[in-house]
Amino acid sequence: MARKRREISNRMLLVWLTLAGCILLLAPQKITGKFQGAFTHAFRFPLRLGRSVTLSARIKNTSDYDSQRTIQQYENHIANLAAELEQKNRQLEALAKIRYRQHGLEGAALVVADVITANLSGPRNELLINRGQNDGLRLDQFVLGENSIIGTISYVWAKQARVKLITDSSSRLAVIPIKSGQKPVWMFGAGDGQAVIRWAKAEPGLWEKVLVQAYPGRLDCPMITGRVSECKRNDKNALLWDITVRPDCDVAMLGSVTVIVTDTSR
């Protein structure tokens, strides 16, 4: 007996596919994000190749770029050391008899990871890196780029992880603006490569440093994260300031990042 072939009409096909799209739209992003993760994991080699080609195309003069990058790294390192020194001095003044570690990252393992893809436009600013749970990465660990804090781990797979950048719209970090002696304030990601500090009480100078405050167990001393790029009075209260912060390194140009793995016992 010949089997009758069922034909679905175009209209039904459109309805079914639209329904499938709606399910995908309304499904929790944690679940649908796994599809994206699986795709990038499956095609990580061509994606990484594409990124290296892009980077090499962007860098027109390699020696100039290398020297600029080195200077930037040293500047950030000096800024980190200065912040650390200042913190140590304050601690020394208050707790002169207590012993503490010499270096903020002394107890941490630093895991270097290659950037697979970078999403830097719009409200979601993320990197996908090629290290994961197997390398000791856990949620909320800080990530360094050119010696400055660029974000935190937001999702971990076995061999990959997603880094939520400080400019991501869902990012929130306690930072110490301008002078490390001030009280920490919240810095919120604003998307498109920017973060904002709202309702600051003092006006900072342009290009002044912004430091992430120490998070015990995750970051032992303040570290530089960005610089003030714009400062304007708050629309509602003229006594307060809205500060725009830009990351201290060009995240789009990063080929690799470093994850601060503090809990090395795992």
Partner 1 sequence: MHWLRFVALLLVATLLQADLLNAIEVAGIKPDLHLILLALFAIFCEPREAIITSFSIGLTADLIGPSMGPGTLSFGLLGCGLCYLSKYISLRRMLFQAVAIFVLGFTTAVFAYLLSLFQTQPAYPKSLGAFLGTPLYSAIVGPFLFLPIAWWMHIRIQRRHSRRRSNY
The site for partner 1, by CB under 8 A, has a size of 41
As given in the structure block, the two tokens for residue 174 are 């306690």
36 binds partner 1 (CB under 8 A): yes
10 binds partner 1 (CB under 8 A): yes
| DSSP codes, 21-66 | HHHHHHS-HHHHHHHHHHHHHHTHHHHHHHHHHHHHHH-SSHHHHH
Whether 186 contacts 173, CB under 8 Å: yes
Q: In terms of CB distance, is 115 or 137 closer to partner 1?
A: 115
How far from each other are the two terminal CA atoms of the chain, in whole angstroms? Answer: 64
Q: What track of x and - describes contact with partner 1 for positions 147 through 186 (by CB under 8 A)?
A: ----------------------xx----------------
Kindly give, in sequence order, each residue whose CB lies less than 8 Å from that of residue 175, ignoring residues fewer than 6 positions away: 184, 185, 186, 187, 197, 210, 211, 212, 213, 225, 245
13 binds partner 1 (CB under 8 A): yes
The radius of gyration of the chain from alpha carbons, rounded to an integer in Å, stands at 22
Restricted to residues 199-228, the positions that interact with partner 1 (CB under 8 A) are none
Q: What track of x and - describes contact with partner 1 for positions 97 through 136 (by CB under 8 A)?
A: --------------------xxx-xxxx------------
- Residues at the contact surface with partner 1, assessed by CB under 8 A: 10, 13-14, 17-18, 20-22, 24-29, 32-33, 35-36, 39-40, 43, 46-47, 50-51, 53-54, 57-58, 117-119, 121-124, 169-170, 191-192, 252
